[in-house]
Amino acid sequence: MEKKKSSRPKGHYSIEEILKIPQVYLPSVSHSGEKIAFFWDKTGRIELYTIDLKSRRIKQVSKGNMPKSVRAKPVWSRDESWLMLAKDVKGNEQHDLYRFNIRTGGLKQLTDTPKAQEVPVDVSPEGGWFSFTSNRDGLVALFKIKVDTGEVVKLAEHKNPVTGGRWSPDGQFIAFSSDARASSFSKVILSSS
């Protein structure tokens, strides 16, 4: 069977063809370094996938319940059985926090702030808390949420937005940045309690 030649010059693609190229979004390496979670629109809709770096096996773990637009990378739990996600509802681009079970594909909403953007940042070393940023009270501030109860605690707020929120290895401190002077970012470390 003879292969049909394309009528277009080699290396030239139409806008329609380019827009149909699947994209990978926001890869996140697990704490063990053995897995990566990422969003991929290879089916035409954004789904969540994992890849085992030893076997190179890629697995779709979501079932049509992912955000319509992705704004933040998924954050692994310490035991790597679930991920914290930011997900919008009906494409409103106001993201709440969700807990996604990798084995079952189950999705549990943890926050309900319809007029705010909430972005997961890091999990505490013992796995009980997640740090996240949110503009739920106006400017973007740093919070933590208790995974099993949904209890939310504000950790830091400044007159300008906060970014980051990484836990120290011992869980005693959280590092973040703020545009405190409205001209350059300052790094800040605060107690996690």
Please tell me the pTM assigned to this model. Answer: 0.82
Q: How far is CA 88 from CA 27, 29, 95, 119, 131, in A?
A: 19, 23, 4, 11, 19
3-state secondary structure of 83: strand
Per-residue pLDDT of 81-120, as tens digits, reads 999 999 887 677 788 999 999 999 999 999 999 889 999 9
CB atoms within 10 A of CB 107: 18
Do 102 and 81 meet the contact criterion of CB atoms below 8 Å apart? yes
Q: What pLDDT band is residue 156 in, cutting at 50, 70 and 90?
A: confident
Contact by Cβ (8 Å): 143, 155: yes
Please list the residues that pair with 138 across neighbouring strands.
Answer: none
Q: What is the pLDDT of residue 39?
A: 92
Using an 8 Å Cβ cutoff, are 120 and 72 in contact? Answer: yes
The string of pLDDT tens digits covering residues 8-44 is: 667 777 888 777 777 888 999 999 999 999 999 888 8
